[in-house]
């Protein structure tokens, strides 16, 4: 085979023509695919722009998204601690309050001593609540003092009807629950007056070691406190607790004894009666008695 000029004849020429045709066909297909892809992308762009943006998926290292519009979980109200009393630890239904001191509040007298009586299995109990008044019907602070047989054994109480038994001078079962309250009488004091009363109450609590129903009982314990702060007290052995407190209130209207000459009233102290000084008697010296001499005749 011989080549002439720029043309090639024979099988080689046929092969070249086929390759060129294939190349042209491939290029046309690629161009068509590229144009189709660009058109699809252009058509999808407006739809993506109008769609709201979505938050990227949280990865394992980030916190989960919080829905601020969701309802907050309801918190359980704090439970009030219920005081209990007695050997069976029964709950206190009506805690102590200062409603009995409302009518006797006075400026400069933020402290109080309240004489109380309550029911009991027997004939009742007398005790004293003292401390500082708070707002409304509340006590800012309070303490309880009262004489009673030690413990909750009724046998000890029965023994105390005949002979003195060991006693306690703090709160007893029922003192802090006003559902058992039968009578009350409140007196307000200045700070100086209360300090003296508190010191005396602490002394009684430290020294009174026995309880005896017919000699020194809960009424007698409260009567000593009443006399110390200047009140008139009824005979503790003539009244049951409720009548004893009621009688004490009657004897001390407005927080002062009705009888200003009561021996135990500290607000009206009489000076001891002074007798006029008598002049010392004049010492007279005995004069010798002159005897009349008989005249001589």
Question: Is residue 218 in a domain?
Answer: yes
- In the DSSP assignment, the letter for residue 88 is T
**Rg over CA atoms, the chain:** 54
In terms of Cβ atoms closer than 10 Å to its own Cβ (0-12, 13-18, 19+), residue 110 is middle
Which structural domain range is residue 196 located in?
85-255
- In the DSSP assignment, the letter for residue 196 is H
Q: How many domains does the chain have?
A: 1
Rounded average pLDDT over 226-234: 96
Q: For tokens 């007279």, what's the residue?
A: 284
* Structure confidence at residue 194 (pLDDT): 98
* Structure confidence at residue 120 (pLDDT): 82
Question: Is residue 267 in a domain?
Answer: no
pLDDT in tens, 15-70: 444 444 444 454 555 555 554 555 555 555 544 545 455 545 545 556 656 555 65
Helix (H) and strand (E) counts for the chain?
5, 9
- Dihedral Cα 86, 88, 89, 92, nearest 10 deg: -70
Question: Is residue 138 in a domain?
Answer: yes
Question: Is residue 49 in a domain?
Answer: no
Rounded average pLDDT over 161-186: 94
Rounded average pLDDT over 1-15: 42
Answer for the pair 241, 219: CB distance below 8 angstroms, yes or no: yes
Annotate 204-239 with b (16+ C-beta within 10 A) or e (fewer): bbeebeebbbeebbbbbbbbbbbbbbbbbbbebeeb
* Structure confidence at residue 89 (pLDDT): 63
Closest by CA to 266, choosing from 207, 216, 220, 200, is 200
* Structure confidence at residue 175 (pLDDT): 94
Closest by CA to 127, choosing from 211, 32, 49, 4, is 211
- Nearest-angstrom CA–CA distance, 264 and 266: 6
Answer for the pair 120, 185: CB distance below 8 angstroms, yes or no: no
Whether the per-residue pLDDT at 76 is higher than 70: the answer is no
For the ranges 64-68, 157-161, 234-238, the lowest mean pLDDT is seen at 64-68
Question: Is residue 6 in a domain?
Answer: no
**Chain-centre distance for alpha carbon 132:** 13
Percent of the chain residues topping a pLDDT of 70: 57
Q: For tokens 């069976």, what's the residue?
A: 88
Question: Would you call 181 helix, strand, or coil by DSSP?
Answer: strand
pLDDT in tens, 250-286: 999 888 887 765 544 443 333 344 444 555 555 555 5
């Amino acid at each position: 085979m011989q080549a002439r000029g720029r043309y090639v004849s024979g099988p080689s020429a046929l092969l070249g023509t086929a390759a060129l045709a294939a190349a042209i066909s491939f290029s046309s297909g690629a161009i068509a695919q590229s144009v189709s892809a660009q058109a699809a992308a252009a058509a999808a762009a407006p739809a993506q722009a109008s769609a709201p943006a979505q938050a990227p998926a949280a990865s394992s290292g980030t916190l989960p998204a919080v829905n601020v519009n969701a309802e907050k979980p309801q918190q359980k109200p704090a439970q009030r601690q219920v005081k209990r009393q007695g050997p069976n630890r029964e709950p206190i239904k009506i805690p102590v309050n200062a409603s009995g001191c409302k009518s006797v509040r006075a400026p400069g007298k933020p402290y109080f001593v309240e004489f109380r009586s309550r029911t009991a299995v027997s004939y009742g109990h007398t005790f004293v609540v003292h401390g500082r008044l708070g707002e409304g019907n509340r006590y800012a602070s309070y303490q309880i003092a009262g004489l009673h047989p030690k413990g909750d054994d009724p046998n000890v109480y029965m023994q105390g009807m005949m002979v003195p038994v060991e006693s306690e001078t703090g709160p007893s079962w029922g003192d802090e629950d006003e559902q058992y309250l039968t009578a009350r009488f409140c007196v307000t004091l200045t700070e100086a007056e209360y300090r003296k009363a508190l010191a005396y109450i602490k002394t009684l609590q430290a020294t009174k070691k026995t309880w005896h129903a017919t000699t020194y009982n809960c009424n007698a314990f409260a009567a000593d406190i009443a006399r110390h702060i200047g009140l008139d007290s009824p005979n503790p052995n003539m009244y049951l607790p409720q009548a004893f407190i009621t009688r004490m209130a009657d004897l001390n209207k407005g927080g002062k004894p009705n009888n200003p000459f009561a021996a135990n009233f500290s607000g009206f102290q009489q000076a001891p009666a002074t007798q006029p000084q008598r002049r010392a008697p004049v010492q007279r010296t005995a004069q010798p008695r002159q005897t009349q001499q008989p005249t001589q005749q």
